[in-house]
Structure formats: structure tokens, C-alpha cells
Amino acid sequence: KEIEYILDDAPIITQTQLQHWAWISKYYMCHIGEVFKNAIPTAFLLESETWVCLSEDFTTGDESQLADDEYLLLEALQHQSALRITDITEILEKKTVLPVVNRMIKRGIVALQAEIKERYRPKMSRYVMLNHVADGEQGLVETLDGLKRAPKQYKTFLVYLDLVGDEPKPIKVSELKKITQDSGQAIKGLVKKRIFTEEMIQEDRIQYTGEAVVQPSQLNPEQELALGTIQSAFGENKVCLLHGVTSSGKTEVYVQLIKEALEKGEQVLYLLPEIALTTQLIQRLQKYFGSYLAVYHSKFNIQERAEVWQHVLECNAKAQLVIGARSSLFLPFQNLGLVIVDEEHEPSFKQHDPAPRYHARDAAIVLAKSMNAQVLLGSATPSLETYHNVLQGRYGLAEIKKRYGQVPMPDINLVDLKEQQKKKRIKGHFSEPLRLAMEGTLTEGKQIILFQNRRGFAPVMECTDCGHCPQCPNCDVSLTYHAYKRQLRCHYCGYYSAQVSKCHSCSSEALDTKGLGTEQIEQECQELFPDARVGRMDLDTTRAKHAHAKIIDQFTSGELDILVGTQMLSKGLDFKNVDLVGVLHADGILNFPDFRSHERGYQLLSQVSGRAGRHEKRGKVLIQTYNPYHQILQQVSIHDYESMQREQMYERRQHAYPPFARLIRVTFKHKDYSKLEQASEWFVQGMRNLWQDRVLGPVPPAVSRVRNQYIQVAVLKVPKGHDLATIKNSIKRIENSFNAIPYYRSVRIIFDVDPI
């Protein structure tokens, strides 16, 4: 095709990126196009709208043999030079007009024209500057004299002089207009008289904060030691894990490393699990690094994202330090020196949908290697995958075992709910010890965090006569009751309906709620402590753009006494005044049917507990459970990561699960259940022929139908040491034969490598 326009003066993607994206597509078994789509800000993509116009070759007289439709279109085009497909649909009063358009294209009567709709453009603003002719003391006096008879221009000129001070510099027209209350006429006049020259200057869309205001903190001996260990691991070009208990001051260690990298002129990438939760951290880093810090945010608009992209591509100092969630991995770094993966154990580093289903921590390590950059992984509760690499000697290990400033680790107590029930000491969902501890904390004027891993009022509504629970019509799952909106909601597809008053199955009105959600805890809390100010943080209260920041600010400033929330609360928050953390129901976290549930449980409970007593006084944690002898709860209560890690590793090795094997998950989806069953069985049989009992499934997952699609899942275990690339090729070959069977072709197949 002919080149119609040049989109960019220089490429917006680097060679290194292309290689890395190719690796992602290969490793995670998806198309390179899917990686591109995910990686590039949409403002850089060519979004065009198609217009139909008369062909240049068209001469009147050709219209003699046209059909009615075609003639109508031609007539319309003779009035209006170009029409959109939607316009044509209206004119022809037809549903599909493409056949008509295509026939006319073939006959050389009309042609298509693409117009670019939306594309990154730097933000340009109009400035004025003093023309050099009028420069100098003498020139100024003469100019002012000459303006005596134009008072508005005279005034504008004076304001301008005032704004520039001693050094000549451009002043923004809009700013000047605002101060002088000029409609623009005076400025125009001054330009016409050649006193001002006009200039278009590129500006930032994103507000970069000013200069750094503080120096990084002096590290204490433990932090100093950790820093040394990290640096010597980097000296050997090894990835390093910083394993430091909650509030040990890991962030301050990162800050030192970042500072050194920036001073060397290197770019730094700081990856976080969820950017929405990090206003605290961003404010902290801004104090140290000022305008070097750019945040790459999925809630930024597309032009802003493109702007960060440009800054990174140009190695601009303004985005030399990028802090962002997993997608910031795709930015066009040219001079990357350091990658920090904070809270490296967090599952949200893995993308589920859509493809590429990549793990940002793992992909970052590969990217860093290709650019000779160093990688630091940080966590108080490292993932077993990472810890395994440490034990194998592949990664370095730095440890901080004490909290900063001699603050002891929180005092964690388990509350036996069975015993409490027997003694009738429970009110609502609050045991006696928890109520007493809350009372004490409130009296002292300290704050409380309550953790419940489910949002909504109560997970399900149940008929006490027949046991029926209202189900989602699209998914194989019960609806969740949300008291605030009086709705039943599906957490999988978003379906909702008004609260029901009668059982759909037996018409009984004896409906009751079962299970426990954050809304209900909030309500009970308010009933137990009517004077306390209670807030709630979960997906439902934080949908809006700045909602997280608002709730966190309210809690930080002491406008709230109690904060009830889901796992959002476990992520890196640093509150000064929280003395008590309560976990309402630990069993729900530990009994999840997944081979990682114990590791997860340990991480989640330790992280939530870590919000207590971070400064000064020792914090207190109460964990309510029906099973206080569960080994994970015992380990959490004495901060024993070591034993947890050893026992879990043993089990994983016994059953050949990660980190001792890799998993490839194949998911099948289709509307028709019997076709799905047949198709998945066919596919998995192909896998079994190659890998026998290392193939598990196909089985329906816990929620086996979502959005009217039935689901089947199979998993292949690949022991360490086997060649993953060959295995993936074999799977792709099975997929090709599968797709060659017309009856199966409509079944959707999704690959997930290293699923989480």
C-alpha cells in the first residue's frame, strides 16, 4: 500500500521492547498482537473511522446501470463529499450496507477513506515573548512611550515585564490574559506591533510535583546491613530478595537504591501490586524524588499515559523513576538500571484476563536481564517461588528481622469461636475478647482495623424452609446480598436484582442471610459502639477515581475510629495510630480449595496483622477462628515464616506443585455443555497421550458457568528440568488438530502458563 502519512518522526517502540514482547507471547502462549494491544497506550494506536467518498476515477455517465440502492448512495455522495457507514445505513434504510458499498468500490464509483480519530498529540500552548528589537533599557522606555495611547496594551506590557523579572522568558498567553482581564485584543495588538513574538510551547499534561524536599533517611544498622547484602548480590548480577518483617523499613532501603541509580543517570521502575492503594507511598517518594517521579496509572486518561511513555522513551528526567502497576513494565525504557518489585508475593501481579496472562514480577526479571538492570524483590512474606530461588542460591537474600525504631512485632492472639459459642459470649460476629479489646482501644483514643475477606452484607440469602438460595441466571453461583442498595448481586458477571421477599422455590417468606460480609460487620460495629465513627473500604466503596485516597485520608487524619475492609487493607498501608487489628473469620481464608491457600492465608493474615502498632507501642491482633490449632494460624501468631515455608515446601515437593513444577492450565468455554464436555475430553486425551498422569482434568471449576458459558479446566504439571518450550509446541499442535474439526472450532481455548 502507499504511504499516506508519517505518524511519528521516530519509532515509539524500541528494539528491546519488541524482543521482550516476543518473549512474553512465546512464554505465556498468546499472540504477539495481544501483547501489543495490552502494552501500547491506546492514544498511540491508529483509530480510524471509515468514510465513503466518490472515487477519483468516477465520471458521470457511469451511473446508467446502477441498482436503486446504488443510485441513492451516488446521489447522496454528489451532495455530500463523504459519508460514514452509519450515515449510509440511514440513507438506504438498510441494516447492512456493506454489500452495496463493496459493489460500488468494485465498479470504481466510490472509494474508502480513513480518518484518524484519536492519536497522541503533545499539549501545545501559546506563549508570548519580548521581541529582541524592543530589548534593552533604552528600547523598553521607547516601547512604553509608544504605547501611551493604547492603555490596555500598556497595562498588558507592564504586567508582562513584571512576570518575567530579570530574565527574558516566554509567558503563557492564557496566564497573561487572566491577570490583565484582557479578551486577547491587547496581546494581539502587541504582536502586531512586533513588540511580542508568539511561540507554541509543549507542556506537560500531568502535574509533576516540584523539587525534592527532603533527603533520604539515615538507615539504621539493620537496614545498612541489608543494603550492603543487596549491593553485593547486584555485584554478582543476581536478583535479590529483601525479606523484612512488616514495618522494618524496607521502603527506606529502596529509597537509597533508587537515589544511587538516579544519580548514575539510570531509569528506575518501581512495581506495585495495586496502584490505587498507594497514595501514601507516592507522597512519601515524592518528598524524596520530586519531579523525577512519574506515576503510570490505568486511571490516567490515554493522553496522559502516552505522555509518560514519551518521557520514558526520551529518557527524560521527568520520568526517570516510574512507579506503577504491572502494565508499566511495557514502557519504552532505554536505560533501565533498577527494578523494584514491592510486595512481590501479591497475586495481583499476575494478569488473568485478557491475554497476555503474564506475571509482572517474572516478566520484569526477564526484561531487566536483557537490559543489564538489577532487580530487587521485597516482601515481609515472600512467595514460595521466590524463596525457592533463594534456597537454590539463584537469588541473593537480605533480611531485616526487626521493626524499625525498636517497635516490637504485634501481639497476635487466636480467639476460639467454638468455645465462645459454648459460653454464649458472642454478639453478632464479635467474640468477647474482641469486643473488650475494641472498647479499650477506643477509650484510649486509638484506631482499629477490622478485616473481613468478603464484601457485601452477607454472601447469600437462604430460605430457611427449603434451603433454596437465589442464583445468578448467567453463572453457576449464588447471588450476594448487599444491604446498602437492597440488592442481590453476582460478583462474577455484575448481574443484579432487587432484594426478594419470597423464596422463588417454595414462596416462603422465611428468608435469612448466611455467611458474613464487610457491610454486615460495619453495621454490627455501629450497633456495638454507637459513638464510634466507622468507615468501610472494599470494592464497593472504592469504585470512584479518588475513593481510596479519600477513605485512607479520613482514617489517617483521625476522622474515623474503625475501618472495616477486605484484603485491600493488607497492602502496604502505614497508619500511625492503629493499635488493634481484628480478623473476624480466619477459616474462610484457609479453607479455600487451592494448593496455595495455606501460603496465601499466612501472607494475608501476617500482612493485615502488620498494620497494627507500627510506631511506638506494641500493637494487638485478635484472629477469630473455629480452628485455633490450625498450623498456619499457629505460625502466624508467632511470626514463624521459616516453619510455614519449610512445611509448605515439603508438601509442594511431595505433590509436584510449584515451585517444584510448572503448571500450564487449559480452560475450555462454550455455551453448549455437551459439546464442551466432548471437546475438552478430546483435547485432554491428546495431552494424556503425551504426558499420561501429569495431566489433571478436565473438570468443572468451583464456579462452572459464567456469563452463560460453561467451563472445563485441565492442568498439566511440568516437572522442573523438562523443556517447557517443546511442551508448549506440542500443546499448540494439539490445538491445531482440534481446530481442524469444524464441530469443535467454536469452543474457546485459553492457555495460562504459571496460573495463579
Q: Which residues contact Zn ion by CB under 5 A?
A: 463, 465-466, 468, 472, 474-475, 490, 492-493, 495, 503, 505-506, 508
| Partner whose binding site includes residue 495, from Zn ion, ligand ADP, none (CB under 5 to 8 Å by kind) | Zn ion
Does the footprint of ligand ADP cover residue 526 (CB under 6 A)?
Answer: no
Spatial separation of the C-alpha atoms in residues 20 and 13, rounded to whole Å: 11
Residue with cell 472495616: 564
The answer to whether residues 126 and 96 touch, using CB atoms and an 8 Å cutoff, is: no
Q: Which of the ranges 74-82, 250-258, 700-708, 733-741 carries the binding residues for ligand ADP, by CB under 6 A?
A: 250-258
Q: Minimum distance between the CB of residue 253 and ligand ADP, rounded to whole angstroms?
A: 8
What character string, x for contact with ligand ADP (CB under 6 A) and - otherwise, covers 192-231?
-------------------------xxxx--x--------
Stretch that binds ligand ADP, among 128-136, 159-167, 242-250, 431-439 (CB under 6 A): 242-250
Among Zn ion, ligand ADP, none, residue 248 binds (CB under 5-8 Å by kind) = ligand ADP
Residue 51 pairs with which residues in a beta bridge? 84, 113
Tell me whether residue 525 is annotated as binding. no
- Cell matching residue 443: 477509650
Provide the minimum distance between the beta carbon of 280 and ligand ADP in the complex, in angstroms, as a whole number. Answer: 9
Residue 62's binding partner among ligand ADP, Zn ion, none (Cβ under 5 to 8 angstroms by kind) is none
Name which of 613 and 755 has its Cβ closer to ligand ADP: 613
Of 238, 250, 536, 705, the one binding ligand ADP (CB under 6 A) is 250
Separation between Cα atoms, residue 286 and residue 723, nearest integer Å = 45
Q: Which residue has cell 448481574?
A: 495
Q: Return the one option of Zn ion, ligand ADP, none that residue 404 interacts with (CB less than 5 to 8 A, by type).
A: ligand ADP
- Among the residue ranges 241-249, 514-522, 673-681, 721-729, the one whose residues contact ligand ADP (CB under 6 A): 241-249
The verdict on 574 binding ligand ADP (CB under 6 A) reads yes
For 326-343, give the DSSP string: GGGGGS--SSEEEEEEET
- The residue within the footprint of ligand ADP, chosen from 358, 404, 430, 529 (CB under 6 A), is 404
Cell digits of residue 203: 507542556
749 vs 603: CA distance, rounded Å: 32
Count of CB atoms within 10 A of residue 452's CB? 25
Terminal alpha carbon distance of the chain? 44
What Rg do the C-alpha atoms of the chain give, in angstroms?
32
Q: How far is the CB of 342 from ligand ADP (least distance, A)?
A: 8
Picked from Zn ion, ligand ADP, none, the partner binding residue 493 (CB below 5 to 8 A depending on kind) is Zn ion
Eight-class DSSP state of 471: B
For residue 722, give the DSSP letter.
Answer: S
Nearer to ligand ADP, 226 or 488 (CB): 226
**Which one of 128, 190, 196, 244 is in contact with ligand ADP (CB under 6 A)?**
244
Residue 247 as a binder of ligand ADP (CB under 6 A): the answer is yes
Note if the bond before 698 is cis, omega within 30 degrees.
yes
Residue closer to Zn ion by CB (options 460, 715) is 460
| Total residues at interface with ligand ADP (CB under 6 A) | 16
Does 382 bind ligand ADP (CB under 6 A)? Our answer is no
Q: Which of 38, 153, 180, 251 binds ligand ADP (CB under 6 A)?
A: 251
Choose between 247 and 441: whose C-beta lies nearer to ligand ADP.
247
Q: Which does 220 bind (CB under 5 to 8 A by kind): Zn ion, ligand ADP, none?
A: ligand ADP
Contact criterion met (CB below 8 Å) for 92 and 72: yes
463 labeled binding residue: yes
Sheet of 480-482, strand order: 480-482, 487-489, 496-498
CB nearer to ligand ADP: give 155 or 287.
Answer: 287
Burial degree of 37 (CB within 10 A; 0-12, 13-18, 19+): middle
Say whether 493 counts as a known binding-site residue.
yes
Minimum separation from the CB atom of position 743 to ligand ADP (A): 55
Counting contacts by CB under 6 A, is residue 246 touching ligand ADP? yes
* Shortest distance (Å) from residue 217 CB to ligand ADP: 3
Task: Pick between residue 180 and residue 248 the one whose CB is nearest to ligand ADP.
Answer: 248
Segment contacting ligand ADP by CB under 6 A, of 84-92, 247-255, 329-337, 495-503: 247-255
* 199: CB partners within 8 A, 6+ apart: 126, 127, 128, 129, 170
Side-chain-facing half-sphere of 30: CA atoms under 13 Å: 23
How many H-runs (helices) and E-runs (strands) does the chain carry?
A: 25, 29
CB 620 to ligand ADP: min, Å? 18
Task: Name the β-bridge partners of 622.
Answer: 413, 582
Whole-Å CA distances, 577 to 455, 570, 581, 744? 25, 16, 11, 59
Query: Which listed range, 240-248, 331-339, 361-369, 644-652, lies at the site for ligand ADP (CB under 6 A)?
Result: 240-248
Which letter, b or e, does each residue of 281-301 get, where b requires 16 or more Cβ atoms within 10 Å of its Cβ?
Answer: bbebbbbbbbbbbbbbbeebe
Q: Is residue 252 within the footprint of ligand ADP (CB under 6 A)?
A: yes
C-alpha cell at 717: 504439571
x-or-dash string of contact with ligand ADP, 599-638, rule CB under 6 A: ---------------x------------------------
Whole-angstrom Cα distance, residue 23 to residue 28? Answer: 8
> Phi/psi of residue 6, each to 5°?
-95, 120
In angstroms, the Cα distances linking 542 to 491, 517, 555, 566, 601 are: 15, 16, 14, 11, 24
63 binds ligand ADP (CB under 6 A): no
| 420 in contact with ligand ADP (CB under 6 A) | no
Minimum separation from the CB atom of position 402 to ligand ADP (A) = 11
Least distance in angstroms from the C-beta of 410 to ligand ADP: 13
217 binds, options Zn ion, ligand ADP, none, Cβ within 5 to 8 A by partner type: ligand ADP
User: Does 243 participate in binding ligand ADP (rule CB under 6 A)?
Assistant: no
Rounded alpha-carbon distances, angstroms, from residue 637 to 38, 248, 412, 419, 602: 41, 18, 5, 19, 10
Between the alpha carbon of residue 620 and those of residues 413, 524, 526, the distances in Å are 8, 21, 21
Residue 302: count of CB within 10 angstroms of its CB: 15
Q: Is 248 in the site for ligand ADP (CB under 6 A)?
A: yes
Beta carbon nearer to ligand ADP, 618 or 671: 618
Q: Is 315 annotated as a binding residue?
A: no
Of 62 and 574, which CB lies nearer to ligand ADP in the complex structure?
Answer: 574
| Spatial CA neighbour of 448 closest among 364, 561, 596 | 561
Which residue in 375, 318, 57 sits closest to 203, CA to CA?
Answer: 318
Q: Look at residue 644 and give its three-state secondary structure.
A: helix
7 CB-side CA count, 13 A: 15
76 lies in the site for ligand ADP, by CB under 6 A: no
Could you list the residues that contact ligand ADP (CB under 6 A)?
Answer: 217-220, 223, 244, 246-252, 404, 574, 614
Q: Binding site: residue ranges?
A: 463, 466, 472, 475, 490, 493, 503, 506
Q: Binding site for Zn(2+): residue ranges?
A: 463, 466, 472, 475, 490, 493, 503, 506
